[in-house]
Chain A
């Protein structure tokens, strides 16, 4: 693309993002806003591509837009009866105007700061590139996630677990340990069943592809886990399988296995390489692949269970 054409594309994309975001925030119906949010997320995916961040683009499309969108849509459908009462609580025109002014000034402040960022920008790209060969990986983002800053990733998987614990704790006592979500086949339709049967095998193959190429190309366990979770949600919503009761031991083992393996390899590093989460020389890549392989099912299960919500019915 020539520079002028690229800039024209960027301006068009930027305008679209702003329009869809504004519509999403101002539209009346919450369900419509949730659909708008999904479209907004997909547009952001394009922005991430334009910012030369394909790994983030994949994560945004899969988790930021897809899985979050599913969650918001489901909640919007449940909360539809409360919509009218909520509308009556809207603050008055003058109040909204003042809030809009204040928010605009926040935006102006941030925009000014961004435009005044130092040039040349400080960057760790050179250091990352220099240290990349030691990890045996080709994708610098994966190297940051699982080698240079692996403590962040470890804590993040723990945050997912904590969120899941929090969601499960919201179950009423009588259904504790039961199955989450609505009864199987609650949304049953032939088209959905057909789609689930056809799409799920392809989705699993695509997820495995993203998982495997993540070492050297854009992709990785988060994106793959989100696709796997999406396939599970699809198959479950179509009524082909029922979600398992959360009290099942195997389910809990799957959910905690990833972080446990991650921690174990971290402590192995303290014993053999002199620091927590350090990898012994020459073993970085196999250990990273082992962590990713252990995390994939755990992340997929945690994402799917977070969307499914707290237990809602007994076994």
Chain B
């Protein structure tokens, strides 16, 4: 097993980990964080593909590498927008929950907000 294959397996594991966090965490901010971990796993797959395409005096294929740079910036933009939406939800309602049946949760959170 070489380095690229090893990091490929790690990338796959990161996608799974991020997906798990995205589904299981009730708090939206944790979902956003998990989604970023998932995304970084996908980017890493691009990196592995680029590394496997090394040649012509380059350590890796520059095309997927450039796509990942674009991807990281776009992922940040989406994260910033998601965080802003969440903070606005918190300001409006005093809660940060995605649950639709809010009556009970609202009473519990009432003391905290």
Contact = CB atoms under 8 A, between A and B. Distances in A.
Interface centre among A30, A85, A119 (most CB of B within 10 A): A85
Interface residues of A, number: 98
A307 B87 CA distance: 12
Interface of B: 1-21, 23-27, 29-30, 32-34, 36-37, 40, 43-45, 47-63, 65-70, 72-81, 83-88, 90-91, 95-97, 99, 105, 108-109, 112-113
B49 A222 contact: no
A47 B4 CA distance: 10
Given A21-B37, A114-B11, A11 B16 contact: no
A172 B21 CA distance: 31
A44 B53 contact: no
Interface in A28-47: 30, 33-34, 37, 40-41, 44, 47
Given A11-B6, A64-B75, 12 more contacts: A30-B33, A41-B40, A44-B40, A51-B50, A68-B36, A82-B27, A106-B15, A106-B16, A110-B45, A124-B61, A141-B62, A222-B69
Interface string A1-33: 000001100110010011001101100001001
Given A84-B112, A89-B105, A114 B32 contact: no
B112 A86 contact: no
B8 A100 contact: no
A59 B69 CA distance: 6
8 contacts: A14-B7, A18-B10, A52-B58, A53-B60, A64-B40, A86-B97, A106-B15, A152-B66
A100 B40 CA distance: 19
Interface of A: 6-7, 10-11, 14, 17-18, 21-22, 24-25, 30, 33-34, 37, 40-41, 44, 47-48, 50-53, 55-56, 59-60, 63-64, 67-68, 71-72, 75-76, 78-79, 81-91, 96, 99-100, 103-104, 106-111, 114-115, 117, 119, 121-126, 128-130, 140-141, 143-145, 148-149, 152-153, 156, 159-160, 162-163, 166-167, 170, 172, 220, 222, 303, 306-307, 309-310
B87 A75 contact: yes
Contacts of A103: 16-17, 19-20, 23
Nearest to A303: B76
Contacts of B58: 52, 125, 128-129, 140
Given A14-B7, A121-B49, A145 B69 contact: yes
Given A78-B90, A125-B53, A222-B73, A25 B83 contact: no
Nearest to A9: B3
Contact of A53 (B65, B83, B109, B112): B65
